[in-house]
Structure 1
């Protein structure tokens, strides 16, 4: 009788625990659903994925990949991730530095000898990585002394793409492709006009009316700054690899954690995505 009572108590506890967890998950799901399906102040059109400890907790798409034809979005649709591409370029640069191909604190003139402006003798790779270089145009003087101010832009990452090619012998597209293959990011690639695959076209919204963007501003030169195409599932793989130390050795990550922000945030345990500048 005691054994039966004990079995019943344990079983009841497990069932109650499962029910509570299911209720929490259901509440959690409903809360996110209510956000992505809201029509005010702006309709959300996209894909949302929430993961925890390597497991997907929530993944849904909302809206259309083609408004005119009313084709719904799918969770495996590919998007231009825009400035989030910079994080991938930064890792490629750091990998090259760890292999001794380049030095983060060496002036970029060494790696880009064709530059003629005097700032090339003081701006370092590190300055390019964290947007403290002061370069507004490669044919003009710097806007400020390297390291003295922060000014976000795409130019520095376009230059980093050139530095990678000159120091590794491979183009940014080749290096990124090898990295994506290593991480099984099979739906991720570098934009080019001849290979859009299932890329979702861009839309702009005015008063909750979506209008298709006829031409992307992406091109081959801009690829290291904004040219990566990916899916939410592949970005989870990237996120896990980055924060679990699969891309750089622990020793090198510790050295990078001592660098000034924002580069050090990549290795601080905080998951920082540059969503506001896409």
Structure 2
């Protein structure tokens, strides 16, 4: 018992020393102390993560375990907004329409799907797709989360764009100055990441084991992109504060379905959740893949990004525990933003 207690105190001390250092990065108006307290008070599980709170025009708040500072992570379902943006760029170029049927591009899809779903429904998870060898789960138009739907969109992006998905993603990352992000491919696998935080998964008995096999290549569009907290903050600036990604972001940001979620009912747009919070509109998503979990939110009225990346996929039988620290950090940020004036440059949804 004494040994366990000493290990717990050592973890707390390690975080305390690191967070005092991180406190030197404090924003001119965000208070770092509540975030320090939140992280130091967690007892349900460790937090091997990297947290970035990036306000426009103010110094960023950075919290990271000593092993993970500045590292790269597989970002899980945050990848979906990249896939959505790549498809919508092709829509803006007039090369594809959201009302198109997926079988127009992938003729080998199951016959029972054909003529029933659109690319737009695949973007907002109302297609009913669950597996290639199974009929649609329900009548198209009802929300049902589908990783496979996004993986198929990745294949459509390759066909329409006439380049591999990884190359199209690379061009977009370059446009947004994301130098530590890439979509893994056979030529450039996950293991090629220069600063990848090694992924682990937690078993039901609480033991953590290394994840040796990354997601299959076909799953990159739905959950396999590699990035970092600073690159994802750059992505949000590029998407929400410029026209580099899309000339008109309405088709990406306007919710067209509703998702039941632990935060309540959320609107779902294209690879993004949309909610009205005390801090105003929030665009968000989380991710969970073997070895990694993630959360990213953006508050356009304040031009503030939150990114949380971890290199442990905690046992999924208790999702409030898995994402508990993420949710409390999010809630504290909303609390602080709610007491601050809206950005002078905000004139409605971007």
Residue 250 of structure 2 is aligned to residue 254 of structure 1: yes
Residue 235 of structure 2 is aligned to residue 238 of structure 1: yes
Alpha-carbon shift at residue 258 of structure 1 (Å): 5.2
Once the two structures are superposed, what CA deviation does each residue of 1:96-133 show, in whole Å capped at 9, x if it has no partner? 11111110011111111222423132211011111111
Assess if the C-alpha contact under 8 Å between 2:203 and 2:209 holds in 1: no
Name the counterpart of 1:199.
Answer: 196
TM-score where L is the length of structure 1: 0.78
Distance 2:27 2:64 in 1: 21
Q: Compute the RMSD of aligned alpha carbons.
A: 2.8
Distance 2:213 2:274 in 1: 32
2:31 to 28, 31, 35: 28
Greater strand percent: which structure? 2
Distance 1:236 1:101 in 2: 29
Name the counterpart of 1:13.
Answer: none
- Tell me the matched-pair count: 245
Alpha-carbon shift at residue 274 of structure 1 (Å): 1.7
1:256/1:206 CA distance change after superposition, 3 Å: closer
Assess if the C-alpha contact under 8 Å between 2:126 and 2:140 holds in 1: yes
Residue 220 of structure 2 is aligned to residue 223 of structure 1: yes
User: Which secondary structure state, in structure 1, belongs to the residue aligned with residue 249 of structure 2?
Assistant: helix
Q: Which moved more, 1:268-277 or 1:30-39?
A: 268-277
Name the counterpart of 1:50.
Answer: 53
Name the counterpart of 1:14.
Answer: none
1:215/1:39 CA distance change after superposition, 3 Å: same
User: Which secondary structure state, in structure 2, belongs to the residue aligned with residue 273 of structure 1?
Assistant: strand
Unaligned runs of 5+ in 2: 1-24, 258-267, 294-350
Alpha-carbon shift at residue 206 of structure 1 (Å): 6.5
Alpha-carbon shift at residue 167 of structure 1 (Å): 0.8
Q: Which has the larger radius of gyration?
A: 1
Distance 2:254 2:195 in 1: 40
Alignment of 1:119-158 (within 5 A): 119-147=113-141, 149-158=142-151
Alpha-carbon shift at residue 260 of structure 1 (Å): 0.8
Greater helix percent: which structure? 1
Distance 2:281 2:172 in 1: 22
User: Which secondary structure state, in structure 1, belongs to the residue aligned with residue 211 of structure 2?
Assistant: coil
Residue 53 of structure 2 is aligned to residue 91 of structure 1: no
Residue 163 of structure 2 is aligned to residue 170 of structure 1: yes
TM-score where L is the length of structure 2: 0.63
